[in-house]
Amino acid sequence: MFGSIPHKTKQFFFVLIKLSIVVGAFYFIYNKLTANPDLNFQDFVNFLSENNQFTIKTISFLIILSFFNWFFEILKWQVLVSSFKKIAFYKAMEESLSSLTASLLTPNRIGEYGVKALYYNSSERKQIVALNLLGNSLQMLVTVLLGSIGLYVFLNQYETAIDYYKIARFGAIILVIVAVGFIALSKSKVLFKGFSLQKIATYFKQLPYNIYSFGFLLAVIRYAIFSFQFYYILTLFGVSASYLNALTVITSMYFLASVIPTIFIFDVIIKGSVAVYLFTIAGVNAFTILSTVTIMWILNVVIPSLFGSIFVLKFKLPKS
């Protein structure tokens, strides 16, 4: 693509791309915080400043929880990559945080796959894409398993105006579409640039069992951390609910929000809408829930992506 372009020109365009990613990420973060139609940013700031529970001690504790959330995510990525190549924890952190920053600008975090792959030689990139898919799938599996249990308990615990017949019919249609699509893709030899479902399945079968078990364990630990963090923020806002009762709603929220396709930057809005609906049924006011979701987004997405922007700017293509 850039074969006939001088080296200095390539470097200039590469730097320009990196700057565009960082500036674009900063703009989207700023825009989502200040132009959220459901939550006025100034009202949100005033709400926090008037809440005496948000002391240096509690804020520090929340940041520590976010640190461990990403520590285990980075560790999970290091473990996955170790299936074919040993990498240092720092390198895993660099790849994870820079890919987070880039993913803010892409639908459904697709950018995460591309950025992580760029850190490796061309011969290794297919493996990296497959391992990233596995890591996200393990996290989704935990979300679906715990969320399904939580949603079942939630629907039996609270009265909701949900038309179960329509949901069942919609779910059946989705399952048929997914099944037909899966069969069609499985019969197709090439899926994308040499990828096929058969090749991906064969590759996953070759991975050691400990990669799956340790990866799944780390996904569970991450889930436990950020779900507890959500509950802890609720208590700071004066929500009086037992941890188990709150966890029923929290797991339902993450489950429903995760199955809705969305551009990642709108993740805070999707989770906010789902959370407001569920927690309103449980008797918690909308502003408190939107504030909680926004704080979670700032702690676990915005702050890590700011660090990730440093790695984006430092990024250099590997020698193939």
pLDDT of residue 300: 95
Please tell me the distance from the alpha carbon of residue 252 to that of residue 153, in angstroms, as a whole number: 9
Please tell me the distance from the alpha carbon of residue 223 to that of residue 146, in angstroms, as a whole number: 9
Counting every residue written for the chain, the total comes to 320
Least confident of 53-67, 79-93, 148-162, 299-313: 148-162
Task: Report the 3 state secondary structure along the chain.
Answer: CCCCCCHHHHHHHHHHHHHHHHHHHHHHHHHHHHCCCCCCHHHHHHHHHHCCCCCHHHHHHHHHHHHHHHHHHHHHHHHHHCCCCCCCHHHHHHHHHHHHHHHCCCECCHHHHHHHHHCCCCCCHHHHHHHHHHHHHHHHHHHHHHHHHHHHHHHHHCCCCCCHHHHHHHHHHHHHHHHHHHHHHHHCCCCECCECHHHHHHHHHHCCHHHHHHHHHHHHHHHHHHHHHHHHHHHHCCCCCCHHHHHHHHHHHHHHHHCCCCEHHHHHHHHHHHHHHHHHHCCCCHHHHHHHHHHHHHHHHHHHHHHHHHHHHHCCCCCC
Mean pLDDT of the region 117-139: 91
Q: Which among 138, 307, 153 is positioned nearest to 211, based on CA atoms? A: 138
- Say yes or no to pLDDT of 276 above 80: yes
- Say yes or no to pLDDT of 69 above 80: yes
pLDDT of residue 264: 46
Q: What's the mean per-residue pLDDT of the chain? A: 82
The reported pTM is 0.84
pLDDT of residue 281: 84
pLDDT-derived band of residue 37, with 50, 70 and 90 as boundaries? Answer: confident
Mean pLDDT of the region 113-133: 90
pLDDT of residue 185: 47
Residue 128, phi then psi, degrees to nearest 5: -65, -45
Paired residues of 192 in beta bridges: 195
- Say yes or no to pLDDT of 20 above 70: yes
- Say yes or no to pLDDT of 152 above 80: yes
pLDDT of residue 203: 82
Interval 228-272: pLDDT, tens? 999 999 999 988 888 999 999 999 989 888 876 554 445 555 566
* Upper half-sphere CA count for residue 187 (Cβ side, 13 Å): 5
pLDDT of residue 136: 92
Show Cβ contacts of residue 87 under 8 Å, excluding neighbours closer than 6 positions: 78, 81
If one compares 106 and 56, the residue with the highest pLDDT of the two is 56
Give the residue carrying structure tokens 């992580």: 116
Distances (CA, A) of 166 to 162, 171, 173, 258: 9, 8, 11, 20
* Torsional class of 222: left (φ above 0), alpha (ψ -120 to 50), beta (otherwise): alpha
pLDDT-derived band of residue 95, with 50, 70 and 90 as boundaries? Answer: very high
pLDDT of residue 99: 93
Q: Give the highest mean pLDDT range of 30-39, 179-188, 189-198.
A: 30-39
Paired residues of 107 in beta bridges: 263
pLDDT of residue 225: 97
Q: Which among 22, 75, 12, 6 is positioned nearest to 222, based on CA atoms? A: 75
Paired residues of 195 in beta bridges: 192
If one compares 317 and 254, the residue with the highest pLDDT of the two is 254
pLDDT of residue 280: 85
Q: Which among 306, 295, 242 is positioned nearest to 272, based on CA atoms? A: 295
What whole-number percentage of the chain has pLDDT above 90?
40
Residue type, 309: S
- Say yes or no to pLDDT of 169 above 90: no
pLDDT of residue 190: 46
Mean pLDDT of the region 84-103: 94
pLDDT of residue 240: 87
- Say yes or no to pLDDT of 5 above 50: yes
Torsion angle (degrees, nearest 10) of CA 186, 261, 103, 79: -60
- Say yes or no to pLDDT of 220 above 90: yes
pLDDT-derived band of residue 88, with 50, 70 and 90 as boundaries? Answer: very high
Q: Which among 145, 150, 120 is positioned nearest to 132, based on CA atoms? A: 120
